[in-house]
Structure 1
Amino acid sequence: MKPALFIALLLVFTLTVGKSMSLCIPVEYVIHVEKRECAYCLAINTTICEGFCMTWDSNGKKLLPRSALSQEVCTYKDIVYRTVLIPGCQHHAASYYSYPIAVSCKCGKCNTDYSDCVQEASSAGYCAIPQKRRSP
């Protein structure tokens, strides 16, 4: 077998196996919601997209347009929203909170219309006031 053909077949195999090895799935996540006007913090069990997506980094970055350089991330394919009532809110406060539930996920470009595309997690993983738990 000629070396060029072997390298081409190896590249096709690597890309095919790499895409199938991507692991991007909905996982359980707890959102903590609190407002100053409400007596309780609400801990909501939901699902978010999390996982590994195969990607590659081009050596010819200066030759390619910027749009060709974005890497794939694990992001939402299908989402549903639920709305809950935060207990103990004062009458003038907006006591309803809507949150997303990941139904399915995909590897693709991060869409800032409905995704948080930052690389660092927020530090608000707790409640500062008494907690009420809510499941989807």
Structure 2
Amino acid sequence: MHPVILMILFGLTVEQTTSLCAPMEYIIHVEKRECAYCLAINTTICAGYCMTRDSNGKKLLLQSALSQNVCMYKDLVYQTVQIPGCSSHTVPFYSYPVAVSCKCGKCNTDYSDCVQEAIKANYCTKPQKPSNM
């Protein structure tokens, strides 16, 4: 077979097997009713494309065989910040996950939201303070 044709076939194969699922920067806004401020926290989340295939024989397969791959956490750590301006009877701490690495895998509804919905506004209703993280 001609080397150029082999290179094209190899490129198509690699494209089909690779994914673009990786940690990406994301800002979350955190506030509590009992606190005077909102924090803008820089973190990383897992996002991107995972290779999936839709089966034509859906009625013949088990439900578990129909789940598609999603981009999810492989390794993560939790960090904690203190929300400023909280009243004395309020716990001022907020813990959030930080993606270290990501993977494509089947979505587990026991601990993940597997439905992609419209992006909701991520904003503060109180004065904003940037996190020192």
Amino acid of the structure 2 residue aligned with 1:98: S
Q: Distance in 2 between matches of 1:69 and 1:83?
A: 37
Q: How does 1:42-121 map to 2 (within 5 A)?
A: 42-121=39-118
Aligned residues: 124
Amino acid of the structure 2 residue aligned with 1:92: H
Runs of 4+ in 1 over 6 A off after TM superposition: none
| One of 18, 32, 38 as aligned partner of 2:16 | 18
Gaps of at least 5 residues in structure 1 are 1-9
Q: Distance in 1 between matches of 2:24 and 2:94?
A: 21
Greater shift in the superposed pair: 72-81 or 119-128:
119-128
Q: Distance in 1 between matches of 2:93 and 2:110?
A: 21
Alpha-carbon displacement from aligned partner over 1:11-56 (angstroms, at most 9, x marks no partner): xx96654122x10010000110011100000110000001001100
Amino acid of the structure 2 residue aligned with 1:119: Q
Cα separation, partners in 2 of 1:121 and 1:134, compared to 1, 3 Å: farther
TM-score, L = length of structure 1? 0.83
Q: Distance in 2 between matches of 1:110 and 1:37?
A: 35
Q: Distance in 1 between matches of 2:91 and 2:73?
A: 27
Whether the 8 Å CA contact 2:67–2:107 is kept in 1: the answer is: no
TM-score, L = length of structure 2? 0.84
- Taking only aligned residues, the RMSD between alpha carbons, in angstroms, comes to 1.9
Whether the 8 Å CA contact 1:45–1:135 is kept in 2: the answer is: no
Percent identity reads 70
